[in-house]
Amino acid sequence: MHKLQSNRTLTLFILGLLAALGPFSIDMYLPAFHTIANDFSTTVENVQLSLTSFFVGIAIGQLIYGPLLDKYGRKRPLLVGLAIYIGTTLLCLFTRDIEHLIFLRFLQALGSCAGMVASRAMVQDYYEPRESARVFSLLMLVIAISPILAPSVGAFLLSHLDWHYIFLTLCVIAVLIFLSTYFFLPESYAGDKAFSLKPKAITGKYWEVFTNRTFLSYCFIGSIASAGMYGYLAGSSFVMQQFYGLTQREYGLAFAFVASAMVVATQLNRRLLKKWNSAQISKVANLWQSIVGVLMVMGLVTNTMTFPLMLGLIFLYLFGHGFIFPNTSAIALSPFKALAGSASALLGCIQMGIGALTSGLVSYFHNDTAYPMLSVMCGCAVISLGLHLYVSKHVEVNL
């Protein structure tokens, strides 16, 4: 186990901030979809594509950072990524049309994903596999606080200023994270100078990770389950504000309420890990999430879906996600140490790639109802459960 050279709490906090930068960049501007659409004289569906492009950027960018983290250590590529994020976020302030915003959000994602890949890899550097599941729960706590704070901050800025200040705030946050990383985060892996960055060698390393049965199985279980949450992120602004008529402030509060489910779940998960293993906990959570997903669709079909009922069901859905993400991530990454950067990158790429697909589906099937969002959420949960039931019979896991 790598011995931490600085305060454990501070190190975990910085890792959490790095992991949360991407989610915070997503959640803060969600209340502004309608405002941005009006400002650019476009539709909400087109603004939703700026969210999809962000997911695509994160998916692609992680594949770039993975090998760099394994060759040059964790901090140098991480700092470069944060610098890219800061620069592109500033450019978002000056964009004049939705096409440029969609492209800049893609570039912004290329910067933010460095923190997501590096934080997961550093957990693998610092901790043994079973302890890493508990640490992922702590990181998930910071990530889960993001959707509680971010939409409320975004709504506050919109009510007093305009949407440009959302990106200015993100830029300031990124600068603070950059400085904290540079001065206070200890390097966890010096890098492997012999690690080749030739395309064939990189492809070979990724293939080695991808063909590991444990990684492949639990990567897709967790990624498909997470994709339901991304479908919610893509559709929640329209469903809550346009369909159910919430104000920007009310939307921020509603978003914070359902996000608090993940805070509760991730901390409860740390206690449950003392009695059960990660595979057992995540499978039960998959079943829970699927049942909730089916109930959401049934509520629409039977025309009994009220806003309070939908809000409560989404809370329960994200409660299940709070158990799935940390446990499946820990299992998927557990076979790797030397390739922790590449494994973390591939995990994140697949997760965000599927998330981009589901958020795009919500936008594509937009029909002025809650059906696209809730159907995608239900479908992801059920598919993830089916995969988990199959994997549990064919892949042995002791974590």
The pLDDT tens digits of the residues spanning 14-71 come to: 888 898 888 888 888 888 888 889 888 888 888 888 888 888 888 888 888 888 888 8
Query: What gap in Å lies between CA 39 and CA 363, rounded to an integer?
Result: 20
Q: pLDDT category, 1, cuts 50, 70, 90?
A: very low
Tokens linked to 150:
């971010």
> Residues 189-231: pLDDT tens digits?
777 777 778 888 888 888 988 998 889 999 999 999 988 988 8
**Per-residue pLDDT band at 375 (split at 50, 70, 90):** very high
Task: Write the pLDDT tens digit of every residue in 307-350.
Answer: 999 999 999 999 998 899 888 988 888 887 667 778 878 888 88
> Which residues touch 41 (CB under 8 Å, ≥6 apart)?
none
CA dist 353 and 97 (Å) reads: 25
Structure tokens at 147: 């959707």
* Higher per-residue pLDDT: 5 or 315: 315
N residues, the chain: 399
Compute the CA torsion angle 183, 134, 330, 279 (nearest 10 deg). -170
Provide the whole-model pTM: 0.75
Percent of the chain with pLDDT over 70: 94
DSSP states of 291-314: HHHHHHHHHHHTT---HHHHHHHH
Give the torsion through C-alpha atoms of 54, 60, 65, 71, to 10 deg.
Answer: 180
For 203, counting Cβ atoms within 10 Å of its Cβ (0-12 exposed, 13-18 middle, 19+ buried), the class is: exposed
- E strand or H helix that includes residue 388: helix 371-394
pLDDT for 2 equals 45
Confidence label for 397 from pLDDT (cuts 50, 70 and 90): low
pLDDT mean across residues, the chain: 85
Q: Distance from CA of residue 259 to its chain's centroid? A: 13
- CA–CA gap between residue 269 and residue 20 (Å, rounded): 19
**pLDDT single digits (tens) 106-130:** 999 999 988 888 887 887 777 776 6
C-alpha–C-alpha distance, residues 127 and 135, integer Å: 8
**Secondary structure of residue 260 in the 3-state scheme:** helix
Instruction: Assign 5 a pLDDT band (cuts: 50, 70, 90).
Output: very low
Side chain identity at 176, as an amino acid letter? L
Residues forming CATH 1.20.1250.20 domain(s) in the chain: 1-197, 199-398
Q: How confident is the model at residue 177 (pLDDT cuts 50, 70, 90)?
A: very high
Residue 399: pLDDT band with limits 50, 70, 90 = low
Measured CA distances, 47 to 35, 44, 128, 210 (Å): 10, 5, 42, 33
Q: What angle do CA 212, 217, 222 make, to 5 degrees?
A: 130
List the CATH code of the domain at 1-197: 1.20.1250.20
CATH architecture assigned to 199-398 = Up-down Bundle (1.20)
pLDDT score of 294 more than 80: yes
